[in-house]
């Protein structure tokens, strides 16, 4: 595997990958590749692509997936077929993002929108590490 932040450019990839880049042995990750992607080699992003929906379905490969909106919300998948479709609520204020199994995520909370500039975020907001020990 490669890391987006350091050498994606040297291998001709981007920081946004389809699921099958990270789970090539799971045939289900080659289906409906537009509905989920991996960002920064760490986060599974499930954007809602339809207007006015309240729920949507997304595919999760095996492992424990931690919600970045609520860390106690963990999706555990252990299927012999390699993964499972999970139905979620479709929030209208954010995108569902999940920390991949075995990854460490970096997070700065600016939900209150008090900081507008990156320099202010770096100076004034705590940096948190979220660890998924799957």
The CATH number linked to 92 is 2.60.40.1180
Confirm whether 110 is domain-assigned.
no
Q: Judge whether residue 9 has pLDDT over 80.
A: no
Report the domain count for the chain. 1
- The reply to whether the predicted model has a pTM over 0.75 is yes
Q: Is residue 129 in some structural domain?
A: no
Residue 96 lies in a domain: yes
Within a domain: residue 26? yes
Examine residue 74 and state whether it is found in any structural domain, yes or no. yes
What residues make up the domain containing 11? 4-101
Average pLDDT (83-93) is 89
Q: 58 lies in a domain?
A: yes
| Domain-embedded: residue 122 | no
Tell me the pLDDT of the chain averaged across its residues.
86
Q: What is the predicted pLDDT for the residue at 111?
A: 78
Does 40 fall in a domain? yes
State pLDDT tens for residues 37-65. 999 889 999 998 888 899 999 999 999 99
Question: Which 3-state string (H, E, C) describes the chain?
Answer: CCCHHHHCHHHCCCCEECHHHHCCCCHHHHCCCCCCEEECCCEEEECCCCCCCCEEEEEEECEEEEECCCCCCEEEECCCCCEEEEEEECCCCCCEEEECCCCEEEECCCCCCCCCCHHHHHHHCCCEEEECCC
Residue 1 has pLDDT above 80, yes or no: no
């Amino acid at each position: 595997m490669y890391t987006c932040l350091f050498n994606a450019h040297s291998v001709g990839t981007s920081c946004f990958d389809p699921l099958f880049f990270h789970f090539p042995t799971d045939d289900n990750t080659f289906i409906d590749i537009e509905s989920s992607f991996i960002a920064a080699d760490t986060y599974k992003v499930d954007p809602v692509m339809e207007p006015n929906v309240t729920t949507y379905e997304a595919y999760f490969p095996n492992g424990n997936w931690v919600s970045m909106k609520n860390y106690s919300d963990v999706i555990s998948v252990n299927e012999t077929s390699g993964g499972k479709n999970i139905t979620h609520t479709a929030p209208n204020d954010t995108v569902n993002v999940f920390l991949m199994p075995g990854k460490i995520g970096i997070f700065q909370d600016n939900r209150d929108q008090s900081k507008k500039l990156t320099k202010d975020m770096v100076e004034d907001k705590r940096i948190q590490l979220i660890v998924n020990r799957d």
